[in-house]
Amino acid sequence: MLNFEELTKRTIDICDKYDELNQTKRGVIWNEQQLMAGFIGNVGDLAKTMMAKHGLRAMNNVDTKLAHELSG
């Protein structure tokens, strides 16, 4: 299990990689507002997929979509 310092370093490394990807592909680095909007969108997608997994929402290929949401 990672300790807090290791988790913080890993988080910063991942953020730096996303900055590099966004700069290369889109020509922009996301600011805090854009990062939060993206995070909220991802949480919403996960929530919808979990609802479908539990029969509360219709969705095709639920297990595949759930695997995608949890891996990204």
Same domain, 41 and 25: no
DSSP-assigned states of every residue in 48-72 = HHHHHHTTSS--SSHHHHHHHHHH-
Same domain, 17 and 42: no
pLDDT at site 72: 65
Per-residue tokens: 25: 């592909």
What's the pLDDT tens digit per position in 27-38?
A: 999 899 988 998
Same domain, 24 and 37: no
Same domain, 37 and 71: yes
Same domain, 25 and 36: no
Same domain, 35 and 70: yes
Same domain, 46 and 22: no
- Domain holding 13, by residue range, is 1-29
What's the pLDDT tens digit per position in 10-69?
A: 999 998 998 999 899 999 998 999 889 989 999 999 999 999 999 999 999 999 999 999
Domain count, the chain: 2
Q: What pTM, to 2 d.p., does this model score?
A: 0.69
Task: Please check whether residue 18 is in contact with residue 30, taking contact to mean a CB–CB distance below 8 angstroms.
Answer: yes
